[in-house]
């Protein structure tokens, strides 16, 4: 999705339930919601009187619309990515689209999290609407040929460590774990002249921090067309970091049955584990700092093929 970063600093105000719309509510972004218990006003913070109960210093991220009413999981997909980054939100929906408000000091972290989830974040006040840059490239870790050679090596390593190929199956974690699993299955199939089943696992519903999300996420495009019961499953993802995504993926996988064994394969292991999770098959180990990000680019998703080490830049300017 394309996300527009609005420039106004906003306040979220609470007025008595029976109050009229305030006179200081002017043009620009604002939303008024009346319930039995309160009148909630979201507006530019400048005109808000100092005696009005409010939370100041919010910025709005707008989903570029209009959105079809039949779409599901729009807010949920954004909320999950932001919750993973530790960014709290306040959501506002209109007829055409959705807005996600975040505290200004967390704006850079929010935009970075959304970009890593595959969304495009741009400044709404730029006439040319160029994508904003929150990272700078430090190094190219792998080229297209190096990725392919690594997958060939991993395919042979899997064959060496698999006793019964009839039980072998790959499950790729959406997004870039999917083409990775499909490529590995194709390489093994060509070497052994047999088809290796591949499943796709979407873990939005299984994130461990969904208590912060008001809307129940929708499991979309999870495709496991075979029984995992008794299978030798290789769970595939592009980058292993804290281990939380893998833990959530294991929860989701065991909802589909009980495999005989589950092993983890990743293209890049960047360290910084928060859970006791390790990969059995690793393409490359890369030492990183918390300010660095591994970006894996695949032709199937990104129309390019490489692995980059990038560094987060300074705070976002309006």
pLDDT per residue over 131-165, tens digit each? 455 567 899 999 999 999 999 999 999 999 999 99
What interhelical angle do 74-84 and 107-116 show, nearest 10?
A: 120
pLDDT > 90? residue 121 = no
User: Do the domain assignments include residue 16?
Assistant: yes
Domain with residue 43: its CATH number is 3.30.2130.10
d(CA 54, CA 10): 10
The more confidently predicted of residues 11 and 123 is 11
Q: Could you tell me the residue range of the domain that residue 107 belongs to? A: 2-132
Cα–Cα distances in angstroms (integers) from residue 243 to residues 7, 12, 308, in the given order = 35, 35, 20
Confidence at 2, pLDDT banded by 50, 70, 90: confident
Average pLDDT for the chain: 86
Range 236-252 average pLDDT: 90
Q: Does residue 284 sit in the same domain as residue 268?
A: yes
Given pLDDT bands bounded at 50, 70 and 90, which one contains residue 77? confident
Query: At 218, is the pLDDT very low, low, confident or very high (cuts 50, 70, 90)?
Result: very low
Is residue 317 assigned to a domain? no
Average pLDDT estimate for 200-227: 57
128 shares its domain with 146: no
Please check the confidence at residue 221 and state whether its pLDDT lies above 60.
no
Domain match, 201 and 300 both? yes
* Whether residue 231 is found in the same domain as residue 274: yes
Q: What is the dihedral of CA 172, 178, 181, 183, to 10 degrees?
A: 170
| Residues 86 and 233: beta-carbon distance below 8 Å | no
pTM of the model: 0.60
- The CA-atom distances, in angstroms, between 163 and each of 157, 160, 197, 297 are 12, 8, 16, 32
Strands 168-173 vs 135-142: parallel, antiparallel or unpaired? unpaired
pLDDT, mean of residues 89-93: 93
């Amino acid at each position: 999705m394309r996300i527009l970063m609005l420039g106004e600093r906003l306040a979220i105000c609470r007025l008595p339930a029976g109050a009229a719309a305030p006179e200081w509510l002017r043009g620009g972004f604002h939303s008024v919601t009346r319930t039995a218990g309160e009148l909630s006003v979201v507006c530019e913070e400048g005109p808000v009187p100092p005696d009005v109960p409010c939370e100041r210093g919010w910025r709005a991220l707008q989903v570029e619309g209009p959105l079809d009413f039949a779409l599901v999981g729009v807010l949920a997909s954004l909320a999950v990515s932001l919750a993973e980054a530790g960014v709290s939100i306040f959501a506002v929906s209109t007829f055409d689209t959705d807005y996600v408000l975040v505290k200004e000091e967390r704006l850079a972290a929010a935009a970075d999290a959304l970009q890593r989830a595959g969304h495009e974040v741009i400044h709404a006040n730029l006439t040319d609407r160029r994508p904003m840059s929150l990272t700078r490239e430090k190094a190219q870790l792998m080229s297209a040929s190096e990725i392919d050679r690594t997958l060939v090596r991993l395919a042979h390593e899997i064959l060496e460590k698999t006793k019964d190929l009839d039980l072998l199956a790959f499950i790729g974690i959406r997004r870039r774990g999917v083409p990775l699993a499909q490529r590995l299955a194709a390489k093994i199939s060509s070497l052994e002249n047999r088809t290796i089943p591949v499943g796709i696992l979407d873990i939005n519903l299984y994130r461990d921090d969904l208590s912060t999300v008001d809307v129940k996420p929708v499991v979309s495009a999870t495709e496991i067309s075979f029984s995992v019961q008794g299978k030798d499953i290789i769970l595939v993802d592009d980058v292993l970091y804290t281990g939380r995504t893998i833990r959530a993926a294991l929860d989701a996988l065991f909802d589909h049955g009980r495999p005989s064994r589950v092993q983890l394969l990743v293209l890049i292991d960047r360290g910084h584990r928060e859970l006791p999770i390790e990969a059995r098959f690793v393409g490359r180990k890369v030492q990183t700092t918390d300010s660095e990000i591994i970006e894996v680019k695949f032709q199937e998703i990104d129309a390019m093929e490489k692995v980059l080490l990038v560094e987060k830049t300074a705070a976002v300017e309006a």
